[in-house]
Structure 1
Amino acid sequence: MTLTRDVKLTVKERINRDPEFAVGLLNEAISLFINGEPDTARLMLRDLVNATVGFEELATKINKPSKSLHRMLSERGNPTMENLTAIFNALRQELSVELTVQAVACA
């Protein structure tokens, strides 16, 4: 018999044990967006929001309805660049990190 576990709970527990894991998730989500994989990036951001700030508090911080945020970060979501920027900034503040971007030559 296979045991299953809710990924949201697993991510939340890992972030509680290892705050650098949250920073890594944010970094990976941004990299995925920039490199043309928005579907995976949105789902990763959704898990990160659930495990850190939560959708209700995020909605308050960026002045958007939480239901809209859930849709934006769903599998078929289509957030605007303005909304993504607001989400990234709220997560950046929540995690107390500074975001930088670096381009590197392809091997």
Structure 2
Amino acid sequence: MALTREFKETIQARVRADRPFRDALLREGVEHMLSGDVESGKAVLRDYIKATVGFKQLGAATGASAKSLIRMFGPRGNPQARNLFAVISHLQCEAGLTLHVTAQPQ
């Protein structure tokens, strides 16, 4: 199901206004990636990027073109680890967060 423009705008407004929500969204995107749900992770991170730094600024900071990043986080995108980790590193810095991986028994 495609998200409506109104829903996306609502999420973006909340990200801008609600710091705990913004931080949780970044964490959720990375957690999806780590759990193997790459499609959901890309979608969450795409929304996060749009609502925070934007693809143009992110591209300038990571050395990738905005167009390349948009494709990378699109439904058919296949991010290389180097690019993905550069993006996550920059997003953490911008957010003032440091994400950590913790092993938990299944």
* TM-score computed with the length of structure 2 as normaliser: 0.91
Deviations 1:19-47 (A, max 9, x none): 11111011111111111100110011100
Check whether the contact 1:43–1:74 (CA below 8 A) recurs between aligned residues: yes
Q: What is the match of residue 78 of structure 1?
A: 78
**Structure 1 unmatched ranges of 5 or more:** none
* 2:83 is equivalent to residue 102 of structure 1: no
1:88 corresponds to 2:88 = yes
Contact 1:32 1:41 in 2 (8 A): yes
Does the CA-based 8 Å contact 1:72-1:78 persist in structure 2?
yes
Q: What is the RMSD of the two structures over their aligned residues, measured on CA atoms? A: 1.1
The structure 1 segments of at least 4 consecutive aligned residues displaced by more than 2 Å after TM superposition are 4-8
Which range is displaced more, 6-15 or 54-63? 6-15
Higher RCO (C-alpha under 8 Å, 6+ residues apart): 1
Identical residues among aligned pairs (%) = 36
Partner of 1:24: 24
CA distance in 2, matches of 1:61, 1:36: 26
Normalising by structure 1, what TM-score?
0.91
- Output aligned runs, 1:38-57, within 5 Å: 38-57=38-57
CA distance in 2, matches of 1:66, 1:24: 24
SS in 1 for 2:76: coil
State how far apart, in whole Å, the 2-side matches of 1:23 and 1:103 are.
Answer: 21
Q: Which amino acid aligns with 2:88?
A: F
In our comparison, the structure showing a higher alpha carbon Rg is 1
Q: Is the 8 A contact 1:71 1:77 kept in 2?
A: yes
